Structure 1
């Protein structure tokens, strides 16, 4: 259980930082973080961090794929964690 908590914390922090970094790069017209990387971080357990980054940095909030995709991935993350904790005893 402890390793699962650490992995989720790291992924959520990474997702949050990625959203902030991408917003800063967008403002400065620099190289951007690919959207597939942002969705990848969300899929791997960091959906809450990406969603928080969307709200805090006001980034990607008009993109329908992010507006609906990230919350859907959050539900997926919750379901996976629930399954791992309840069924596998982690």
Structure 2
């Protein structure tokens, strides 16, 4: 479990970061976007750190209350989850 968690969170965070950059690029170029529901679902699965970094770096979705309020909650939720998984 201790070796799988860093791999999982590393992969999914990289995916979240990449999708944030892709969605920003698509927004600038007026192309087809990734639905907000799908991005939030990915963050709920653990991509919140990578997506949060992408939000700050690409300045993407930072005006959306849905994202700015849910990111810290998802991060706290996953920190608690990891703590529980590693403790027990």
- Bin of the TM-score, shorter chain as denominator length: over 0.9
* Alignment gaps of 5+ in structure 1: none
Compute the displacement of 1:43 (Å): 0.9
* Alignment gaps of 5+ in structure 2: none
Give the structure 1 partner of residue 55 of structure 2. Answer: 54
Give the structure 2 partner of residue 29 of structure 1. Answer: 30
Number of matched pairs: 87
Alignment of 1:1-90 (within 5 A): 1-87=2-88
TM-score by length of 1: 0.93
TM-score by length of 2: 0.95
* Aligned counterparts of 2:32 and 2:87: Cα–Cα separation in 1: 42
Provide runs of 4+ in structure 1 moved above 6 Å: none
Q: For 1:61, what is the secondary structure of its paired residue?
A: coil
